[in-house]
Amino acid sequence: MNQSTLILDYSKEDLSDILEEWGEPSYRLTQLWQGLYHNLWNQANQFTSFPKGLRQKLGEHFIFQSIEPVGESISDQGLTRKVLFHTSPANPIEAVLMQSKDRNTLCISSQSGCGMGCVFCATGQMGFLSNLTSGQIIEQVLYFARLLRREGKALTNIVVMGMGEPFHNFDQTLQAIDRLNDPSGFNFGERRFTISTVGIVPMIRKFTALKRQINLAISLHAADDDLRSKLLPINRKYPLDMLLEACREYVKQTRRRISFEWVLIQEVNDTPEQAQKLAKLIKGLLCHVNLIPLNPTQGYQGKPPTKQRIQQFKAVLEQHQIPCTVRQPRGISIQAGCGQLAAVHQGQSR
C-alpha cells in the first residue's frame, strides 16, 4: 500500500479488508467510518477510541487530506464563500458555498480545469489539468461540512457543477456520491445531489440506466445547433436533437424532472427568438429552466443582459407553460463563477 494513499479514496469494503488484514476486530470498521463521515475527523490522532498502535498505523498508511486551501473569498454579506484548493501537484480546484435562509448549497468540482472549452466559462478557458479522485471530491464536501458544523449548520444540497465535466470523470463522481450517501456515515440523501453536464450523450444514457435518485442538470445555453456549437464545442459531437433524445429518455426511464441551465448573454442568447426556439425544443418535457445572467470572465467579452431583457426572455417561456426561474448572480465581486478564482491565482503566479 502506498503511504500517500488518501483514506477517503477507499470504500467501506476496502477499509474492512484492510482492517481485517491488520487483525483488527470488525467493529473497528464502524468506528473508522463514523469517525471519517459522521464526526468529520481528518487526522489519525483524532480516533481516540483506537489503541495508540492503530492510530499510528493509520497515520503511516494513509493521508487524511490531499487538497490544501490556498485562497478564500467571501461576498454577499458572508452568504457566499469560495475556496480555492490545490492538489499535491498544485493543480487548482474550487468549491463555493451559497447560503440563504433555509438552504446551504455547496457547488463542488470533479476535475481541475476542464476540456470542454465552453467559451464563456473561466474553467473552460483554463483547459483540462486532471481528474479528481473520489476522495478529493469528498474532501471538498467534508471541508465545508466542518465549517458549517462550527456554526451549528449543515449542508442541504450538493451540486457537482464547479470546475470540470462530471461525466468525463463518471466513475469517481458516482463513487464519491455513494460514500456520502451511505446512511451509516455522512448520510446525505441522493435527491439532494445534482450532477451538471454539458451534454455528453453516452454518459447521460449510462446515468439513465442506473435509475438513480440524483438530479440531472444540462448546460444548454442555446436552442439551435449553430449558436450552441459556437458557445459549447461539444455540440458539434452531440447536437441538440441527439441531446434532447437522451434527455427525454432520462425523464421516461427515471420519472424525474430534468433541469436546463441557460446562461444569459446580452444580444447572444437572450433574445425572444431564442426563447421561442427553446420553448419549442423542450415542449412537453418534464423539466425546469434555470436562467442565469452571465458572470463575466476576463477571457470572454460577453456581458449579462439587462433586467428587462431577462424578464422578456422569462415571459416567453412562461407563455408556453415552461417552468423557469432566474437565478440571482452570487459572488460576482469574488469571481465565484466556475474557475474564476483559480484563473486569477494562476495569472498572479506567472
pLDDT tens, residue by residue, 176-235: 999 999 999 999 999 999 999 999 999 999 999 999 999 999 999 999 999 999 999 999
Tell me the whole-structure pTM to 2 decimals: 0.93
- 338 catalytic? Reply is yes
Domain made up of 7-61: CATH architecture: Orthogonal Bundle (1.10)
Grid coordinates belonging to 20: 481485517
Query: Annotated catalytic residue: which of 114, 118, 324, 338?
Result: 338
Query: Annotated catalytic residue: which of 24, 94, 139, 261?
Result: 94
- Predicted local confidence at residue 3, as pLDDT: 47
- Predicted local confidence at residue 334, as pLDDT: 43
How far from 331 is each of 92, 158, 347, CA to CA, in Å? 19, 17, 20
Cα(155)–Cα(163) distance, rounded to whole angstroms? Answer: 20
| pLDDT tens digits along 226-270 | 999 999 999 999 999 999 999 999 999 999 999 999 999 999 999
- 165 catalytic? Reply is no
Cα(7)–Cα(188) distance, rounded to whole angstroms? Answer: 19
Q: What are the residues facing 159 on neighbouring strands?
A: 107, 194
Matching CATH number, 68-349, of 1.10.10.10, 1.10.3720.10, 3.30.499.10, 3.20.20.70: 3.20.20.70
Cα(32)–Cα(42) distance, rounded to whole angstroms? Answer: 11
Task: Give all strands (DSSP E) within the chain, no chain letters.
Answer: 68-75, 80-86, 92-99, 104-108, 111-113, 128-131, 157-160, 193-197, 215-219, 258-264, 287-293, 324-326
Q: Do domains 7-61 and 68-349 have the same CATH topology?
A: no
Q: What are the residues facing 84 on neighbouring strands?
A: 71, 94
> Domain coordinates of the chain in residue numbers?
7-61, 68-349
How far from 59 is each of 42, 54, 71, 138, 247, CA to CA, in Å? 11, 9, 27, 19, 46
- Measured in degrees and rounded to the nearest 5, phi and psi for residue 171 equal -65, -45
Task: Determine the residue type at 87.
Answer: T
Residue 68 has pLDDT above 60, yes or no: yes
Centre a 10 Å sphere on the Cβ of residue 191 and count the other Cβ atoms it contains: 12
